[in-house]
Chain A
């Protein structure tokens, strides 16, 4: 966990595109909030692996959002139940229920529908918010930390330069 956290800090402090980190957070939110054995999560995993999103951030965020999901479970169930039992949507759900593909998605499960709906609704707001937070972090906290005497002294040492060279050789996570 400490190693993953350190990696996250490293990514935040690196030149990595903030969008790659934010997208990892958003995909992790979908995977963490919704029940793992759902069809849409296969798509999430495929996208996480194929798109160049930051994997360290993704795995750490999955742990975080899974914990959140446990807390919000009753809320997801309630939302899913209200959506599935809404009179106006009854015809729509009945149509989906008759199709093989949609039955496999388990859309008629209160928790799957409730948590997926919340995840989709929050996807872009979380993406934009985390993007801004990363940029703000780099502009303020990171810039301030780099200007401190301690950091400047540390960066001047041969040991730090060697570490930077080696870690850049490891490549981007």
Chain B
């Protein structure tokens, strides 16, 4: 036995293990730092860096200092910068290769901060150039205020293209092309000369009759052949005439449509250049639409940017069969545990954030990589602390991926006592409107279910001061609208966004619409009627002239039809002669 045992070897083993433990403790901080940076960078597809990671063993915890998460779309900016993250890890769970953090403290969160060096990682920058813009803001058409004064019809018609005129012009060109086509065709068809030659041949055949029996029989055969030729030519002319008639009828039908076309032009120009009573009922859309559309777009853009990370919250079974491991690493196959738990779970994270709007404090609950196992959605709530010009702000939400096939995310924002100042509502030179002051209570609820947005906003604006920055000597309607707005002391606003995230519809209404409708509705209606009348007269004049030109061009086609009829009549006469020759003129001797 002694031959086989080497007791000093046990001491060497203990020494090696001791050295290993010492090195582990000595280098663990750097190892954790690099692991977090490597994993974070891979997930973020842009650099994730931290200044320092400190690991404590009793109790087991980690303290991360100055975490910077680069914005992959803006390399010289951090999407998130965090001053410090502290947490304790459950050692029992860690032994099962699971990270369970019962409470985490996240201090000094800042968004969109500048970086000293680029956060791009080369391997990703090449791949993603084609995918850029996936989370781009939805382009919304700006809401423009129509003219409030009566526009000059002549000026409008000089710069606007009338669809009815284009239609007439196109038709005129088509008639001309048809005329050329038919002139060429007529040249190929048998004409008067052709039929004259047939008549000559008929006359000659009359001479043959007097040449005895042989001559009579030979002449009869020639007459039948001649009749066939004349009939064939006449059929050609008749077919061409029928076709030409069809063409002219079709063109005539379209000519008749031209006088109706100006109605569409008039409607379009009326909507574009005048404030209609209907348009007046959407004035809040014009005043608030751009602002709310912009805020919605920014929120949706931020959500889409976070989507790849949110998708990982549900967790799921890894399919080892389809994974090709790196050499020397293998693949970890996961099994159902007696007490299933996610690989990563932060039960509560207490967060303080310093944003542009002010300081926020709140908490995030159940941040895990497997909501399917935890059975609880990620929830968060934040309250604004000493936010300038706002009495109270509360933001909360839920990211629910418990059923990965039906993700449901909900957000709610409530702000009360917010002071709005110098908010430009309409930048139109003719009628600039500014919300000088207002105290606002806002409530927003949004849900995103399987990529479909359903959001609603209600805002109560009190102590409102609306100012229209007008110059002197304004048209009466403009002045009336400005006076009405100046009298508005409160506004109730409702907005909604519904539909797919990339193509949602924005709706907006407020009691401001009714106020203006009541105050200046009659004036707007009268002005719109005056404009419509003037426009109708001017457009009809223009179109009538164009129609006369079209009709003149069409008369050419009529002429061609007459020509074909003439040829047909002449040919019929020749055919009759030939028929008379074969029936009446020929007398058999027996």
Contact = CB atoms under 8 A, between A and B. Distances in A.
B330 A77 contact: yes
Nearest to B325: A77
Given A49-B6, A85-B333, A108-B333, A35 B338 contact: no
A140 to B, nearest CB: 26
Contact of A84 (B7, B17, B320): B320
A41 B553 CA distance: 100
A49 B328 CA distance: 26
A51 B333 contact: no
B330 A111 contact: yes
Interface in A67-93: 69-70, 73, 76-77, 80-81, 84-85, 90, 93
Interface string B1-22: 0011111011011001100000
A90 B335 contact: yes
A142 interface: no
Say what secondary structure dominates the interface of chain A. Answer: helix
Contacts of A163: none
B95 A104 contact: yes
B321 interface: yes
A64 interface: no
A109 B7 contact: no
Q: For this complex, into which size category does the number of interface residues on chain B fall?
A: 20 to 34
A108 B332 contact: yes
Interface in A88-104: 90, 93-94, 97-98, 100, 103-104
Say what secondary structure dominates the interface of chain B. Answer: loop
Interface in B301-339: 320-321, 325, 327-339
Interface in B191-247: none
Given A49-B6, A51-B5, A110 B12 contact: no
Contacts of B12: 49
A50 B325 contact: no
B330 A110 contact: yes
Contacts of A98: 337-339
Contact of A111 (B10, B329, B337): B329
B13 A35 contact: no
A52 interface: yes
Q: Which 5 A-B pairs have the closest CB atoms?
A: A111-B330, A49-B9, A97-B335, A110-B330, A98-B338
Interface of A: 17, 35, 42, 45-46, 48-52, 69-70, 73, 76-77, 80-81, 84-85, 90, 93-94, 97-98, 100, 103-104, 106, 108-112, 114
